[in-house]
Chains A and B, each alone.
Chain A
Amino acid sequence: MAAEAIALEVDSIEKSFGGVPVLHSISFTVPSGHVTALAGENGAGKSTLMKIISGQIKSDAGAIKLFGTILEQGDPIVARRSGVSIVPQELSPYPDLSIYENLFIGREIKNRFGFLNHVEMQKKATQMLEIFGLELNPKIKMNRLSVAITQLVEITKATSWGAKILLLDEPTSAIPDREVDQLYKVVRTLREQDVAMIYTTHRMVEIQELADSVVVFRDGNLALDVSISQADESTIIRSMVGRDLEKLVSAKMNTNTRQKISISNLQVDKKSQPISFDIAEGEILGLGGLIGAGRTEIVEAIFGTRAARGGLITIDGIQIATGSPAKSIGAGIAFVPEDRKGAGLVLSMSVVDNASLPHIRKFSRSGWVDFGVRNSAISKVVESVNLRSRGLSQLVGTLSGGNQQKIVLARWLTQSVNLLILDEPTRGVDVGARGEIYSIIRKLAEDGMSVLLVSSDMPELIGMSHRVLVIRSGVITGEMTRDELNQEDAQVRIFEHASGQLAEDTNVKK
């Protein structure tokens, strides 16, 4: 290992924003052909470091050295010319242009008259994609590709500039598990080409799978820097959160609780089959399945953000008015959507404004907001979820993902809730906040709230649910009780139901 050239050296980098230190004297190195996993909770300073290395911002002190030469900071063009490329978490392709146009933007191949040479660019694009085993027609428009493929095209684009150092910022956060393998392949190909990589991630599997070494940040400090052979899962998690990850234990449920919520013949759209299921008081009912199985559509139809074709919902035997979020909220249904930034929060508004939005009428007298009532109610609930903010008036856009999610959850708790619908409640949430969100959900269920949990995170689904329904193509293909979930093979069985590998597939409650 020692013989390898040091491609990137981060030397005593320090950075603070508005007087708040974000990085404290960070130093580590990455040799050529080496993948360094960079782990840490949200807000630990990972993205800041990535931005410094790629020239988007300048550090306050310290140096970035590329092959021993100090990089002039704060200029993305200089960084790129020196061999640094970044694939950001939020991709920004040109959706209406084709793959080859995306690949060649900024360095188009021209013929001798100065016009674009499309044929040549297409040929080159095909070759570039083939290196990574991507057999794509370069003339396809970017907006027709899945997020996973888009990302691979972006990696192709980033490395085809001759990058010696590639920064991948949470590359798997937005892509489904079954498409991760292709990303792994690409990363391995790049490693063979001697590219040095920093790969930020929350997922332990990926670290074990890909990394040669692990660097962990905690609150802007370097908490761990070891080779992968010395880093097992618990070591990494301990350095990230400074404590052991508690084992998931589902909430206690009274076995003879009565049925509370009944959903019958819910038809999501014209083509789908109607589905029916019940949820007991204090029960956490998990909805498992592959991404795209129609789980989000089902919960959106229940809540009313999606217009259902038909179906009845009863709470305590009484049919409720459905069809719009306002009606559902009135009936005591709460919804934590999958897309926190897109559908959960208004990022330009404050904590208190966001938290009071669903029940603003309850804090108002004939339209006039009672600030005292509102602020004290919201203070109480955000405290109950252990929100860490600079105050109720902080803009939610400036909070970490975990804290944002706590607001999306907490804002329902100012009133009594009959059914809490959670769609991927811990996606993009750091480990520490994740544990806290689990205990909040568990406590709510123990207090009698019925919970419908959609989750693609297997340990979360199995660990939290009292019962799991598995969905495939909008249909319930399996049901697993708590006892079955406790079996060793629970994960395998859920996967079998979800992917349609079981011969005796039946619609459980049809």
Chain B
Amino acid sequence: MLKNNTSALGNLEEIEKVSWNKERVTNLLVRNSMVFVLLIVIGYFSFKNDGFLTLPNLRTILIASAPFALITLGQTLVILTGGIDLSVGSVIALATMTSAKFVVTNPNQFWFAIGLGIFVGLIAGIINGLVVAYLNVTPFVTTLGMLTIASGLAYAIGNGAPINGLPERWGNIANTKFLGFQSPVFVMIAGFIIIGVIMTRTSFGLRIYAVGGNRVAAEVAGVNSRRILIYVYAISGTLAGLSGVILSSRVISGPPNLGSGYELSAIAAVVIGGASLMGGRGKIWGSFLGLLLIQTLNNGLDILIIPAYWQRVISGVLIISAVTVDMWATKRSSK
């Protein structure tokens, strides 16, 4: 029932006044299951290890989340339109290599190098968008192609080798600290707030939901669905480009395999956050929780010295359970 009373855009008065009965409480738990799962996970790790619930460890979790944050945001938008962007990991690598190559040869053109990395992401995203919107190639195939192309180009830029010898200053982008947190943490939080506001408060956000929910109906209502698709893939590409710049700054080098496989983590966060791969349903807030949950889990399991391969098994189980619960909740609320 609660779900029936949500709008793609917020700020709606609840017309229906339902008393707090058992069903409503159950629904509330189901609809916000991710918050509770996150709290349980945090509770468990805090109980098992005193080092978990501390400020330094919070910083660790947040800085570990940051590289995935921007591409998770882009991925959420793409998934809301019913698509998928598999190319973001490779676009990170391409942006990294482009920026690194440029800044190594032109150490004085610092800002231009940053802009170049972001621009490369934008171009890759626009190409994805054009192919999806105008050539009607399925997003899976389009972005799988782009994944391969961008990855190949990333290796080509460094002739198959990483680029080293970046100026010291390059490291300042992502390693500068404010209030004890590195700058990517602020980029992450700002990104979620900005995109979250766009999705709930602007006509652009509403149109993304409309195109994902029913593209034909959106077009009949005057929405230029092709333009929306191009924008969404362009945003996803741009954010991947920015991610690439930040990541290369973290390591002060240009490894051509940076970001490899990140697209799957981003998709996992979005799906755990409750978005439907069919499009039209999902929230930015949900993706944020999904991202935090994955990273908290990884961090906690690290602290408990569980090997990385078992962490992957647990993450996989989490993805399937999250989607199962979500489908069950959707079915329940649509009755």
Contact = CB atoms under 8 A, between A and B. Distances in A.
A393 B14 contact: yes
A391 B18 CA distance: 13
Given A346-B217, A368-B202, 5 more contacts: A326-B224, A348-B213, A349-B209, A395-B3, A395-B4
B50 interface: no
B198 to A, nearest CB: 9
A346 B219 contact: no
12 contacts: A305-B219, A328-B222, A346-B217, A348-B214, A348-B281, A349-B8, A358-B222, A364-B203, A390-B4, A392-B15, A393-B4, A397-B334
B220 to A, nearest CB: 5
Given A325-B220, A357-B210, A19 B12 contact: no
Given A335-B220, A357-B210, A369 B201 contact: yes
Contacts of B1: 18
B16 interface: yes
B214 A345 contact: yes
Contacts of B213: 346-349
A290 to B, nearest CB: 24
Interface string A1-31: 0000000000000000111000000000000
A391 B5 contact: yes
A358 B6 CA distance: 20
Contacts of B157: none
Interface string B193-227: 00000000111101101100110111111111000
A353 B207 CA distance: 9
A142 interface: no
A344 B217 contact: yes
B12 A337 contact: no
Contacts of B207: 357, 360
A347 to B, nearest CB: 7
Interface residues of B, number: 38
A123 interface: no
Contacts of A349: 7-8, 209-210, 213, 280
Interface in B264-304: 280-281
B280 A360 contact: no
Nearest to A357: B221
Contacts of A392: 7, 12, 15
A342 B4 contact: no
Nearest to B227: A326
Interface string B93-105: 0000000000000
A390 B16 contact: yes
Interface in B294-335: 334-335
A93 B43 CA distance: 49
A343 interface: yes
Nearest to B204: A367
A395 to B, nearest CB: 5
Interface in B93-121: none
A390 B15 contact: yes
Most chain B beta carbons < 10 A, residue from A346, A347, A360, A371: A346
Nearest to A360: B203
Contacts of A352: 7, 9, 12
Nearest to B4: A395
Contact of A346 (B12, B16, B201, B210): B210
Interface of A: 17-19, 303, 305, 324-326, 328-329, 335, 337, 342-350, 352-353, 356-358, 360-361, 363-364, 367-369, 371, 375, 390-395, 397-398, 411
B219 A342 contact: no
Nearest to B3: A395
Nearest to B7: A350
Contacts of A353: 7-9, 206, 209-210
Contacts of A17: 335
B203 A342 contact: no
Contacts of B335: 17-18
| Among all A-B residue pairs, the 3 with the closest Cβ atoms | A391-B15, A346-B213, A350-B7
A329 B221 CA distance: 8
A357 B218 contact: yes
Given A357-B206, A357-B223, A391-B16, A342 B8 contact: no
Contacts of B216: 342-343
B280 A369 contact: no
Contact of A350 (B12, B201, B203): B12
Interface centre among B1, B11, B220 (most CB of A within 10 A): B220
Nearest to A364: B203
A397 B281 CA distance: 13
A361 B203 CA distance: 7
Nearest to B278: A348
Contacts of B219: 305, 325
A363 B9 CA distance: 13
A348 B209 CA distance: 9
Nearest to A374: B9
B23 interface: yes
Question: In this complex, which of B6, B207, B210, B221 has the most chain A Cβ atoms within 10 angstroms of its Cβ?
Answer: B221
A347 B209 CA distance: 11
Nearest to A398: B4
Contact of B222 (A326, A343, A398): A326
A411 B15 CA distance: 20
B5 A394 contact: yes
Contacts of B280: 346, 348-349
Most B-side CB within 10 Å, residue of A352, A353, A361: A353
A369 B206 CA distance: 9
A345 B334 contact: no
A350 B8 contact: yes
Given A325-B221, A357-B206, A347 B214 contact: yes
Contacts of B224: 324, 326
Nearest to B10: A371
B14 A368 contact: no
Contacts of A18: 1, 23, 335
A422 to B, nearest CB: 13
A302 to B, nearest CB: 13
Contact of B217 (A342, A350, A361): A342
A400 to B, nearest CB: 14
B20 to A, nearest CB: 13
B9 A369 contact: yes
Contacts of A364: 202-203
Nearest to A412: B221
Nearest to A359: B222
Contact of B220 (A344, A391, A394, A398): A344
Between B11, B210, B217, B281, the greatest number of chain A beta carbons within 10 A of the residue's beta carbon is seen for: B217
Nearest to A305: B220
B6 A393 contact: yes
Contacts of B223: 326, 357
A380 B221 CA distance: 19
Given A17-B335, A390-B16, A393-B7, A367 B202 contact: yes
Given A358-B222, A367-B202, A393-B6, A345 B16 contact: no
Nearest to A335: B220
